[in-house]
Amino acid sequence: LRANGVMDYRADFPGIADWHYLDTAATAQKPQAVIDAIARAYGADYATVHRGVYSRSANMTLAYEAARRKVARFIGAKSDAEIVFVRGATEGINLVAQSWGGANLKAGDRILLSVLEHHSNIVPWQLIAEKTGAQIDVVPLTEDGKIDLDAMSAMITPAHKLVALAHVSNVLGSPLDVRRAAEIAHGVGAKILIDGCQAVPRLAVDVTALGCDFYVFSAHKLYGPTGIGVLWARQEILDAMPPYQGGGSMIDKVTFEKTTYAPAPTRFEAGTPHIVGVVGLAAAIDYVEAIGLDVIHAHECALVGQARDALHKLNSVRVFGPEDSCGILSFEIEGVHPHDAGTILDEEGVAIRAGHHCAQPLMRHLGVEATARASFGIYSDESDVAALVRGIERVRKIFG
């Protein structure tokens, strides 16, 4: 038990011994339970899915489809048929842009993004805009770094067919009122995609209650393996979407004259899937559900609050983002390049991220080249905040 009454989960994570890992927004460390599930899936349980007539393969298929049901329940989907396994959020967004966008966007249509989007929620839309002749508009931010929904409401028109926004910013931690954003989008008949990469590990998500149309996230930020992620889409939208990639598994019948496709979600899972990744994702969901996202959220909010207060007390440190940021804090030490700060902090055993965080338009908006970013997870604690503050003091000493 920690001083704040939250259980201490550090011992569950072999990857965080002996250092201060503050780069969880890039990728989360893995609990032993997930590592063990992956080892079992590659070991005694290993076989392919969906094709085998032997029992090991049948069992793996049961595990694979049970994981789909687990994901569906975890994010409040109405049915497991709404869950598509993809490589990660990046592939999920590209899938929607190419498949849904390719079928539904045309010249004169508009796509609405925001200033704080990750490149993976910008570039796929640029690619499909180029192909279809659609154009992109950008919602500005409020003073404290949130997507400005009043501005969005004022600028959206019936020409906007698709809105794509981050649920939580990977740079500022800014949470989005998804329900309101969805109402605004639907008010003009647009669909709305939510990039849930940073939200799913930090907030309880119920896609049905949020009222969005598409939701994507990556397992590796949710304490699960890399190379696996989820695209959720409302059933009737998914059913109407053409295939994204062709290959094995996604078909109904193949002849050289004409091929017909399997129903969703199978239609979107061409080739042998990342079987072990899916099993690992299921183990990660079990892990976070046993703790509870409300507990994780409260814990990370408390740590961000502590870090924010401590950095405010240091002269010449500028902190970005809103008061209610979720688990993520960007900052700048006056006169010190974030890369230099990151290198000195590394010498102190503190791992932060320094750079543009795949959000160059946001950097331009903040008027900086890069920021330093500390991000927290369930295993983070006060000792990490203290080490960060000590490290920054050392940086300032070195740079005079």
Size of the site for ligand PMP (CB under 6 A): 13
| Helix-, strand-, coil-residue percentages of the chain, each rounded to 5 | 45, 20, 40
Give dist(CA 236, CA 215) in Å, integer.
Answer: 15
Structure tokens at 31: 């609990």
Residue in 60, 89, 139, 285 binding ligand PMP, rule: CB under 6 A: 89
Q: Which is nearer to ligand PMP, 197 or 392 (CB)?
A: 197
Torsions phi, psi of 318, nearest 5?
-105, 130
Q: Is 174 in the site for ligand PMP (CB under 6 A)?
A: no
Q: Is 118 in the site for ligand PMP (CB under 6 A)?
A: yes
Interface segment toward ligand PMP; rule CB under 6 A; list 61-69, 86-94, 148-156, 175-183: 86-94
Give dist(CA 287, CA 225) in Å, integer.
Answer: 13
Alpha-carbon separation of residue 175 from 137, 169, 199, 200, 326 (angstroms): 21, 7, 8, 12, 7
DSSP annotation of 119 reads G
Q: Which is nearer to ligand PMP, 128 or 317 (CB)?
A: 128
> x-or-dash pattern for ligand PMP, window 32-71, by CB under 6 A?
----------------------------------------
Interface segment toward ligand PMP; rule CB under 6 A; list 82-90, 94-102, 283-291, 317-325: 82-90
Least distance CB 182 / ligand PMP (angstroms): 18
Nearest to 375 by CA among 193, 178, 168: 168
Structure tokens at 203: 């907030």
Q: Which is nearer to ligand PMP, 166 or 385 (CB)?
A: 166
Structure tokens at 187: 């008010």
Residue in 29, 94, 218, 371 binding ligand PMP, rule: CB under 6 A: 218
Local structure of 369: helix, strand or coil: coil
Q: Is 197 in the site for ligand PMP (CB under 6 A)?
A: yes
Q: Is 371 in the site for ligand PMP (CB under 6 A)?
A: no
Q: Is 98 in the site for ligand PMP (CB under 6 A)?
A: no
DSSP annotation of 172 reads T
Q: Is 94 in the site for ligand PMP (CB under 6 A)?
A: no
Q: Is 306 in the site for ligand PMP (CB under 6 A)?
A: no
**Contact status, residue 265 vs residue 315, Cβ threshold 8 Å:** no
**Contact status, residue 209 vs residue 243, Cβ threshold 8 Å:** no
Least distance CB 397 / ligand PMP (angstroms): 32
Give dist(CA 253, CA 238) in Å, integer.
Answer: 20
Please identify which of the residues 212, 301, 326, 358 carries the catalytic annotation: 358
Q: Is 194 in the site for ligand PMP (CB under 6 A)?
A: no
Least distance CB 257 / ligand PMP (angstroms): 37
- How many other C-beta atoms can be found within 10 angstroms of the C-beta atom of residue 120? 22
Residue in 94, 98, 114, 120 binding ligand PMP, rule: CB under 6 A: 120
Q: Is 165 in the site for ligand PMP (CB under 6 A)?
A: no
Full DSSP string of 196-208: -TTTTTTS---HH
Least distance CB 100 / ligand PMP (angstroms): 18
For the chain, the straight-line distance linking the first and the last C-alpha, in angstroms and rounded, comes to: 40
Interface segment toward ligand PMP; rule CB under 6 A; list 63-71, 73-81, 88-96, 340-348: 88-96
Looking at the DSSP assignment, which residues form a beta bridge with residue 110?
135, 160
- How many other C-beta atoms can be found within 10 angstroms of the C-beta atom of residue 288? 22
Residue in 195, 269, 300, 384 binding ligand PMP, rule: CB under 6 A: 195
Nearest to 141 by CA among 354, 362, 306: 362
Residue in 90, 114, 375, 380 binding ligand PMP, rule: CB under 6 A: 90
| 197 carries an active-site annotation | no
Give the active site residues: 358
Point out which residues bind ligand PMP (CB under 6 A): 88-90, 118, 120-121, 166, 170, 195, 197-198, 218, 358
